[in-house]
Chain A
Amino acid sequence: MSKNFLAGKAELNQQIDARVSAYFSSCVHCGLCAEACLFYTETDDPRYTPIYKLEPMRRLWREEHTFWGKLAVKLGLAKSLTEQDFADWEELVYDSCTVCGRCSMVCPVGNDLAYMFRKQREGFSKAGYAPDGLKAATDRALTIGSPMGVTLHTLKATLKHVERSTGLSIPIDKKGADYMTLFSSMEIVNFPEYIESIARIFDAADVSWTISSTAFEATNSGIQIGSKEAAAEIVNRVVTAAEDLGVKHVISPECGHAYTAIRWEGPNLIGRSYPFKVIHILELLDQLHREGRLKLSGTTDIPLTFHDPCQIVRRGGVVEPPRNLLHVVASDFVEMRDHGDMNWCCGGGGGVSANERAEELRVKVFDRKKQQLDELGVTTMVTACANCRLVLEEGLEHNDMLMDIIGLSELVAEHLSE
């Protein structure tokens, strides 16, 4: 029995709170959660049933928190949780779950399975049973400051391009600004058009904003791998920078887990409330438009739909702002049959896209999104998460589907009034 395993088991046990106890006490093994999970619906493999993926945590709960479980282990009638269980379940815990939380919305007894997945990963990560790709990303986030290895030099190089193409000056470390904005590495490297778009929008809406040179990265690999220590450190960097600059708001970018990390988990990770507010970029754009500061003109008549990023919409509560904005700038916006808080995940959230081992499965489960898009027959998909966007682009490519994908902030920027 390794030292890491014991630490992982102890961590997993620590994660069992009243919620988890109530959830396992209530589960009647009906399996309805499977019907909400794209890893099951697209493969018919019963091992991908959400509650089954939580079996190690359930065993530990039974062993440590129930009378029968304790007795059964003592009498040798039931097996204690073993290191082999961690090894056997690692793939189910990390490769076949994006922590999208769709299962949490359908459980008849009300179990929030995504909450339990997040907690189970704490134990697995501590025991060392996590995918190499996620481990490396977390290491880079802690040592370099970004899971993709993006440095301040990389950001500055990107910003130079943005300044050249927009003719605007991008404020860095401006004390007392109203808003401090964060970016995900993917936006800096793959989608700099997002940065360009918000620079143009903020200029048009006369928003006082800045970027921090010490904390510009929004992605939080600690949340994805399940390491509260790493997650807290990444959140702390942002909080310290925002406090140093004295900003009133921190803007979470078009990145799902970044929003969950900074908005919902952050204060709990660092053990205190923030002296500033966290706002998602879509909430801010919607607010600026409603206040009349963001003036938009013209609409696109291309048939388009919106892919809801799970952590921003279902797990984040930003449901209406993207729709409000889309109704302003698109005349032929249509919803997928399951949308909003019941959307289907792209298949690459929760660190799955950073996990090379999961690629084949991720491509397979994209079939669900393909079916949704085929039903609509649109030619453009709008989304608000750089990770979703990359995963969706790969899925479309793999299935030879001709479809454009655009970030919602970009679409809004295209309709700025002159």
Chain B
Amino acid sequence: MIAQFIDGPLWYFSSIVFVLGVLYRIFLIIKAGVKPDLAVPRQNGTFGAVRTMFSRFVPRRDIAKRGRLQVVAGYMFHLGLFVLLFFAKPHVDFFAERVTGVGWTPVPYWVFIVSAELAFAGLLLLWLYRLMHPVTRLLSSTGDHVGTGLVFLVMLSGCLALAHSFEALRLTHLLLAEMLLIYFPFSNLMHAFTFIFSRGFTGALMARKGINA
């Protein structure tokens, strides 16, 4: 009964909350509006917006040095998670069956293992840093820890489910993923979508002034 609920109604409910929640947050941003810039630009803002969306993936030299641990751990976590989420075989099958209708080539098992290790190590390093460094300790809210904790549990249960192939573990993983989907639009996990706006706005504004931001 619980299994059917997790596999069925809860999955649809969490997916709807996720999609509508994300769209609502994006709507709120757009609704707030931006006044047109009347200053004569030096360059086209649109090109700058696109450029900054990509250029911010590479940290500035000074920051790469001063914030080395966060930069490296951040890359480990995000790249590892990206591979796990979109290229682990069970996820590819799941997307094909329930979301996209078509599948794609998953990564080999050893790549999955490496990605999982990178993602875990990165996430734990970032979490420890958040707890221990005076700056991140001051900035961090309960929401930051809830988000990190949920992502950690989803990853942990997913790896255990793949390693042991127990139905109970698969259901636990799905239940936690569903909780994450519901929590997502109400948290700063939203940065996964809104970073495009942030980088775009800044890139456009600065490009108009002639600066590659």
Within 8 A of B (CB), among A104-151: 104-112, 115
Do B144 and A319 have beta carbons less than 8 Å apart? no
User: Contact partner of B74 among A16, A27, A30, A112, CB < 8 A?
Assistant: A30
Question: Known: A40-B135, A110-B199. Contact between A25 and B188, CB under 8 A?
Answer: yes
User: Contact partner of B188 among A16, A19, A29, A266, CB < 8 A?
Assistant: A29
Do A18 and B67 have beta carbons less than 8 Å apart? no
Within 8 A of A (CB), among B1-42: 24-25, 28-35, 37-40, 42
Do B139 and A51 have beta carbons less than 8 Å apart? yes
A47 CB within 8 Å of chain B: yes
Name the B residues within 8 Å of A272 (CB-CB): 38
Q: How far is the CB of B71 from chain A (nearest CB, A)?
A: 8
Compute how far the CA of A110 lies from the CA of B209 in the bound complex, rounded to whole angstroms: 16
Compute how far the CA of A29 lies from the CA of B129 in the bound complex, rounded to whole angstroms: 11
Question: Known: A29-B139, A30-B70, A46-B134. Contact between A268 and B35, CB under 8 A?
Answer: yes
Name the A residues within 8 Å of B33 (CB-CB): 17-18
A21 CB within 8 Å of chain B: yes
Do B56 and A110 have beta carbons less than 8 Å apart? yes
Within 8 A of B (CB), among A20-76: 20-23, 25-32, 34-36, 40-41, 44, 46-47, 49, 51-52, 65-68
Compute how far the CA of A68 lies from the CA of B197 in the bound complex, rounded to whole angstroms: 21
Do A16 and B190 have beta carbons less than 8 Å apart? no
A316 CB within 8 Å of chain B: yes
Do B195 and A319 have beta carbons less than 8 Å apart? no
Compute how far the CA of A22 lies from the CA of B31 in the bound complex, rounded to whole angstroms: 11
**Total number of residue pairs linking A and B with CB closer than 8 Å:** 169
Question: Known: A29-B140, A46-B134, A46-B135. Contact between A104 and B202, CB under 8 A?
Answer: yes
A257 CB within 8 Å of chain B: no
A267 CB within 8 Å of chain B: yes
Compute how far the CA of A66 lies from the CA of B186 in the bound complex, rounded to whole angstroms: 8
Of chain A, the residue at the smallest CB distance from B203 is: A110
User: Contact partner of A26 among B32, B194, B206, CB < 8 A?
Assistant: B194
Do A317 and B198 have beta carbons less than 8 Å apart? no
Question: Known: A29-B188, A31-B139, A106-B60. Contact between A21 and B39, CB under 8 A?
Answer: no
Do B67 and A67 have beta carbons less than 8 Å apart? no
Do B141 and A19 have beta carbons less than 8 Å apart? no
Do A341 and B197 have beta carbons less than 8 Å apart? no
Of chain A, the residue at the smallest CB distance from B189 is: A28
Name the B residues within 8 Å of A51 (CB-CB): 139
User: Contact partner of B60 among A264, A319, A342, CB < 8 A?
Assistant: A342
Name the A residues within 8 Å of B56 (CB-CB): 107-110
Do B136 and A112 have beta carbons less than 8 Å apart? no
Instruction: State which size class the interface on B falls in.
Output: 35 or more
Name the B residues within 8 Å of A268 (CB-CB): 35, 37-39
Do B38 and A341 have beta carbons less than 8 Å apart? no
Do B201 and A271 have beta carbons less than 8 Å apart? no
Name the B residues within 8 Å of A46 (CB-CB): 134-135, 137-138
Do B191 and A49 have beta carbons less than 8 Å apart? no
Compute how far the CA of A22 lies from the CA of B186 in the bound complex, rounded to whole angstroms: 14
Do B211 and A314 have beta carbons less than 8 Å apart? yes
Question: Known: A26-B198, A27-B188, A31-B133. Contact between A112 and B42, CB under 8 A?
Answer: no
Do A25 and B59 have beta carbons less than 8 Å apart? no
Q: How far is the CB of A73 from chain B (nearest CB, A)?
A: 15
Within 8 A of A (CB), among B94-117: none
A273 CB within 8 Å of chain B: yes
Name the B residues within 8 Å of A362 (CB-CB): none
Within 8 A of B (CB), among A151-202: none
Of chain A, the residue at the smallest CB distance from B205 is: A112
Compute how far the CA of A265 lies from the CA of B40 in the bound complex, rounded to whole angstroms: 11
Name the B residues within 8 Å of A67 (CB-CB): 24, 186
B157 CB within 8 Å of chain A: no
User: Contact partner of B38 among A26, A34, A40, A271, CB < 8 A?
Assistant: A271
Do A17 and B210 have beta carbons less than 8 Å apart? no
Do A26 and B40 have beta carbons less than 8 Å apart? no
Do B39 and A109 have beta carbons less than 8 Å apart? no
A291 CB within 8 Å of chain B: no
A263 CB within 8 Å of chain B: yes
User: Contact partner of B198 among A17, A110, A316, CB < 8 A?
Assistant: A110
B168 CB within 8 Å of chain A: no
A307 CB within 8 Å of chain B: no
Name the B residues within 8 Å of A44 (CB-CB): 134
Do B198 and A28 have beta carbons less than 8 Å apart? no
B213 CB within 8 Å of chain A: yes
Do A109 and B144 have beta carbons less than 8 Å apart? no
Q: How far is the CB of A356 from chain B (nearest CB, A)?
A: 28
Of chain A, the residue at the smallest CB distance from B188 is: A28
Compute how far the CA of A112 lies from the CA of B200 in the bound complex, rounded to whole angstroms: 10
Do A35 and B67 have beta carbons less than 8 Å apart? yes
B163 CB within 8 Å of chain A: no
Do B32 and A17 have beta carbons less than 8 Å apart? yes
Q: Can you list 30 A-B pairs, Cβ within 8 angstroms, ordered by A?
A: A17-B32, A18-B29, A18-B30, A18-B31, A18-B197, A25-B191, A28-B144, A29-B141, A30-B70, A36-B62, A41-B66, A49-B135, A52-B138, A52-B139, A65-B28, A104-B202, A104-B206, A104-B213, A109-B191, A110-B52, A110-B56, A110-B195, A110-B198, A110-B200, A110-B213, A264-B209, A265-B39, A267-B40, A268-B35, A319-B210
Using CB atoms and an 8 Å cutoff, list the residues of chain B in contact with chain A: 24-25, 28-35, 37-40, 42, 52-53, 56, 59-60, 62-63, 66-67, 70-71, 74, 130, 133-141, 144, 186, 188, 190-191, 194-195, 197-203, 205-206, 209-213
6 additional A-B residue pairs with CB within 8 Å, beyond A52-B138, A265-B39: A26-B198, A49-B138, A110-B195, A273-B38, A317-B209, A317-B210
A-B pairs, top 3 by smallest CB distance, nearest first, are A110-B199, A317-B210, A267-B38
